[in-house]
Amino acid sequence: MKEYKNLFYELLYPNVCPFCGSLVREGMCGKCEEKVVYVQEPYCKKCGKPVRTEEQEYCFDCGKNRHYFTEGRALFLHKSPVSEAVYAMKYQNRRVYGQFFGRELAEKYNGFMEKRGVELIIPIPLHKSKKRLRGYNQSQIVAGELAKRTGISMDMTKLARRKKTKPQKSLDDRQRKANISGAFSLKGELGGKKNILLVDDIYTTGSTLDEAARVLLNGGAENVYFLTISIGQGY
């Protein structure tokens, strides 16, 4: 009976490649697997952006700015076809793409999380008005799949977004920091958890993750790491 239910579900909701929409058994299609660019070394020791040489320890941004987060990594460079897939996940109700990205993050960065003793996964929250309009938080979907695959608990309530902000993509670095300042608050305590992992969709300058990390550090965390689906170049 269970096999028939699974078959019915697959027929009703077939797996598709998140990058081109073609039917696949799981994951992405072979053509898109050749197109997407996974983040590889050398990369910034702080945020994980690709850099030009192994001798370059930090990207341009991390070389000049102080960050509250301890360290972070991303799956892909934020370029086509990844950028379109992330957009579709966020704005076109392609929630299933979030599960794919969560699985990919777990496969690539499970060791990263284990070595750093991550005890709790927290998705970057949306403001309640934006979540109500969209109907879901894409980072929560990614984080939920990551938590399921790694066995690390996820919490969706500790970090709250209390300030409605402008879209960060339309702002410069200074404006991003001002826009996101005071946007988050901690509800309750972290329950003794010291090593926290934040999950977001895109890393650009790190302003959002920085502000969330600052709140968590003030709330008792010792280290705040992050994972994102995509990231820009660090040159």
Give the model confidence (pLDDT) of 128-170 as tens digits. 999 999 999 999 999 999 999 999 999 999 999 998 877 776 6
Looking at every residue in the chain, the average pLDDT score rounds to 90
Stretch 41-68: mean pLDDT: 94
Q: What is the value of pTM for the model shown?
A: 0.91
Residue identified by tokens 């799949």 is 145
Q: What beta strand segments (E) does the chain contain?
A: 71-77, 120-123, 159-161, 184-186, 195-203, 223-231
Confidence (pLDDT) at 106: 98
Distance CA 167, CA 78 (A): 17
Q: Per-residue pLDDT tens for 68-88?
A: 999 999 999 999 999 999 999
Beta-carbon-side half-sphere exposure of residue 24 (alpha carbons within 13 Å): 17
Q: Is 203 left (phi over 0), alpha (psi -120 to 50) or beta?
A: beta
